[in-house]
């Protein structure tokens, strides 16, 4: 199901922290992808449907520079990425082989990919940064991907940072990392998250005015009544 512009704009105003809290209340605890840190400060909060890539451990007969020309390759996967997607790459947490460098990231940026998320690392970091592609990862490593990984598929279910990611699941990413919203929960998050943000902003204002936390966060009945009155 396509992610419409209204949903994207709503989610851009909602922190990943708020999203994890809402999903936690619905029983979903494992939605934050471990190791997904912004490659540079100041990257904006971004939203998009997941386009998945999967690596497995390197096998010497398969993970070779020659494999980059195969029909199943990172190069072919990039050419299948639709504009607006967020590419989510299962690198199994490997941190001694960079999955992508500057040329591949430049092509992704040219295709209109919103962001790249991985539990692995990048290479050619200076060049990667120059492409302007927003990236969340675990850092950098000089060796190429075939030094530690074998690329096997795209648009299949993957695990990234310990989270199960299916193609077209919704990804929201900001300074706190990448969070997954399953398609089945998107409408609930869209309905509840803006109110959660409004409520917490009101609570923050109360704190700045000197209010004590007991009864405020979480709200007791009296505080809830004051909050509801403030909205009228």
Per residue in 100-124, pLDDT (tens digit) is 999 999 999 999 999 999 999 999 9
* pLDDT of 1 higher than 60: no
CB 169 within 8 A of CB 183: yes
Superfamily of domain 5-184: Ribonuclease E inhibitor RraA/RraA-like (3.50.30.40)
pTM, two decimal places: 0.93
Q: Which long-range contacts (CB under 8 A, 24 or more apart) does 164-168 make?
A: 164/30, 165/33, 165/50, 165/52, 165/88, 165/90, 166/50, 166/52, 167/49, 167/50, 167/51, 167/52, 168/1, 168/49, 168/50
Q: What tokens does 195 get? A: 């109110």
The pLDDT of residue 143 is: 96
Among the residue ranges 36-40, 69-73, 91-95, 105-109, the one predicted with the least confidence is 69-73
Domain boundaries, the chain: 5-184, 188-230
| Share above pLDDT 90 across residues of the chain, in percent, rounded to a whole number | 91
The pLDDT of residue 172 is: 98
| Nearest CA-CA partner of 120 in 159, 160, 93 | 93
CB 99 within 8 A of CB 81: no
Over its C-alpha atoms, the chain yields an Rg (Å, rounded) of 20
Strand bridging mode 149-154 / 158-160:
unpaired
CB 109 within 8 A of CB 133: yes
- The backbone torsions φ and ψ at residue 143, rounded to the nearest 5 degrees and listed phi first, read -65, 150
């Amino acid at each position: 199901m396509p992610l419409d512009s209204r949903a994207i704009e709503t989610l851009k105003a909602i922190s990943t922290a708020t999203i994890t809290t809402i999903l936690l209340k619905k029983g979903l605890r494992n939605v934050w992808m471990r190791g997904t840190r912004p490659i540079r400060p100041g990257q904006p909060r971004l939203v998009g449907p997941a386009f998945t890539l999967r690596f497995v451990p390197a096998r010497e007969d398969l993970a070779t520079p020659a494999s980059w020309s195969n029909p199943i390759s990172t190069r072919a996967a990039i050419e299948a990425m639709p504009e607006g997607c967020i590419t989510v790459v299962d690198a199994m947490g490997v941190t001694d082989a960079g999955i992508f460098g500057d040329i591949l990231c430049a092509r992704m940026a040219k295709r209109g990919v919103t962001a790249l998320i991985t539990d692995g690392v990048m290479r050619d970091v200076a060049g990667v940064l120059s492409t302007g592609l927003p990236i969340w990862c675990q850092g950098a490593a000089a060796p190429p991907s075939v030094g530690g990984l074998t690329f096997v598929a795209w648009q299949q279910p993957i695990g990234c940072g310990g989270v199960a990611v299916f193609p077209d699941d919704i990804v929201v990413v900001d300074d706190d990392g990448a969070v997954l919203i399953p398609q089945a929960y998107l409408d609930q998050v869209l309905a509840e998250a803006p109110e959660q943000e409004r409520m917490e902003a009101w609570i923050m204002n109360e704190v700045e005015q000197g209010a004590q936390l007991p009864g405020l966060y979480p709200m007791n009945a009296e505080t809830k009544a004051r909050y509801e009155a403030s909205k009228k």
